[in-house]
Amino acid sequence: MVHWSAEEKQLIASVWGKVNVEECGAEALARLLIVYPWTQRFFSNFGNLSSPTAIIGNPKVRAHGKKVLTSFGDAIKNLDNIKGTYSKLSELHCDKLHVDPENFRLLGDILVIVLASHFGRDFTPACQSAWQKLVSVVAHALARKYH
């Protein structure tokens, strides 16, 4: 089980409380597809991903981004059992979606950058540290059921 200090929990909750899940999720996924274009391999049925503008405006990207970040909310509500929270999703990503877990790490890093751009100076080093830990734990949990 991952140990979270009281400070880490507070930093995570305080940022999450101010996050617009739909906007941030959409932006994080769009940036993933733009910055690491090979990640588009998982979204061949999303329609037009031919340019950054197309990706940002793509309604399927927005919807999926929102879905992914909403799921992050589940981790935050269950910081003491992220493994359990993501057990089924881990199986899904392995067995049905066939996603290389490296992609979870890439998305996690992008999410941190998106949060930094929204929160500016309030996204202190301590805040970043807590969130880097969170995205790393989530990535690890999502990879855990792979076989």
Partner 1 sequence: MVLSPNDKTNVKGIFGKIGGHAEEYGAEALERMFAAYPQTKTYFPHFDLGKGSAQVKAHGKKVAAALVEAANHIDDIAGALSKLSDLHAQKLRVDPVNFKLLGQCFLVVIACHNPSLLTPEVHASLDKFLCAVGTVLTAKYR
CA–chain centroid gap for 11, Å, is 17
Tell whether residue 116 is a contact of partner 1 (CB under 8 A): yes
Interface with partner 1 includes 10 (CB under 8 A)?
no
Under rule CB under 8 A, residue 128 binds partner 1: yes
Interface with partner 1 (CB under 8 A), residue from 92, 119, 144, 145: 119
Report d(CA 59, CA 80) in Å as an integer: 34
Which of 60, 56, 57, 63 has the alpha carbon at shortest distance from 32?
56
Tell the smallest beta-carbon distance from residue 103 to partner 1 (Å): 15
Q: Where are the alpha helices (DSSP H) in 3-124?
A: 6-18, 21-35, 52-57, 59-77, 82-85, 87-95, 102-119
- Please report whether residue 118 would count as binding partner 1 according to CB under 8 A: yes
> Using the rule CB under 8 A, which residue among 112, 134, 139, 141 binds partner 1?
112
| Secondary structure class of 61 (helix, strand, coil) | helix
Contact indicator for 49, 43 with CB cutoff of 8 Å: yes
At residue 20, the 3 state secondary structure works out as: coil
Binder of partner 1 out of 16, 72, 104, 123 (CB under 8 A)? 123
Which of 56, 63, 89, 92 is the binder for partner 1 (CB under 8 A)?
56
> Contact between 109 and partner 1 (CB under 8 A)?
yes
Give the binding site for partner 1 (CB under 8 A): 30-31, 34-35, 52, 55-56, 109, 112-114, 116-121, 123, 125-126, 128-129, 132-133
